[in-house]
Amino acid sequence: MNTLEIFLSSLGLSWTLSKLLPYILFLIIGFPFSVIFYKKFKLLKPLKIIISLAIFVLPFLLYFVYSPIYQGDFSNSGYTVSSENRFPDKKQLTVYVLSNCPYCIQATTTLKNMLFNNKRIQLEIKVIGNQMNDKIKYQRLINQMGNVSLYKKGDSLVREPIQAMLKLTKGEFPTYLLSENGHAVKAWHNDRFGVRAMDEVDQFFRK
The values of phi and psi at residue 105, to 5°, are -65, -45
Tell me what the mean pLDDT of segment 145-169 comes to: 72
Q: Where are the beta strands (DSSP E) in 130-182?
A: 147-152, 175-180
Q: Which domain holds residue 165?
A: 92-206
Residues 18 and 54 in one domain: yes
- Answer whether residue 75 is part of any domain: no
Residue 77 inside a domain? The answer is no
Compute CA distances 131 → 98, 145, 153, 197, whole Å: 12, 21, 10, 31
User: Are 53 and 116 in the same domain?
Assistant: no
For all residues of the chain together, what is the average pLDDT? 90
pLDDT tens for 110-133 read 999 999 999 999 999 999 888 899
Q: Specify whether 62 is located in the same domain as 101.
A: no
Single-letter amino acid, residue 107: A
CATH of the domain at 140: 3.40.30.10
pLDDT tier for residue 43 given thresholds of 50, 70 and 90: confident
Tens of pLDDT, residues 171-199: 899 999 999 998 899 999 999 999 999 99
Write down which residue in 48, 66, 84 finishes a domain.
Answer: 66
Return d(Cα 22, Cα 165) in angstroms, integer.
39
Residues 101 and 61 in one domain: no
pLDDT at 6: 95
Residue 166: partners with Cβ closer than 8 Å, 6 or more residues away: none
In a domain, 17, yes or no: yes
Verify that 198 and 133 share a domain, yes or no: yes
Domain membership of residue 71 (yes or no) is no
The tens digit of pLDDT for each residue in 76-89 reads: 999 988 766 778 89
Cα 98 to the chain's mean position, in Å?
17
Output 46 or 94, whichever has higher pLDDT. 94
Q: Tell me the percentage of the chain whose pLDDT exceeds 70.
A: 94
What is the predicted pLDDT for the residue at 162?
A: 67
Indicate if 61 and 152 belong to the same structural domain: no
Does residue 156 surpass a pLDDT of 80? no
**pLDDT of 1 above 80:** yes
Q: Is residue 165 part of a domain?
A: yes
Indicate the pTM of the whole model: 0.87
- Percent of the chain at pLDDT > 90 equals 72
pLDDT for the residue numbered 157:
45
**pLDDT category, 153, cuts 50, 70, 90?**
low
Q: Rounded to an integer, what distance in angstroms lies between the CA atom of residue 58 and that of residue 86?
A: 52
Question: Do 191 and 110 fall into the same domain?
Answer: yes
Is 16 part of any domain?
Answer: yes
Of 7 and 164, the one with more pLDDT: 7
Residue 20 has pLDDT above 90, yes or no: yes
Domain tally for the chain? Answer: 2
In a domain, 85, yes or no: no
For residue 91, give the nearest of 121, 125, 126, 119 by alpha carbon.
121
What pLDDT does 83 receive? 66
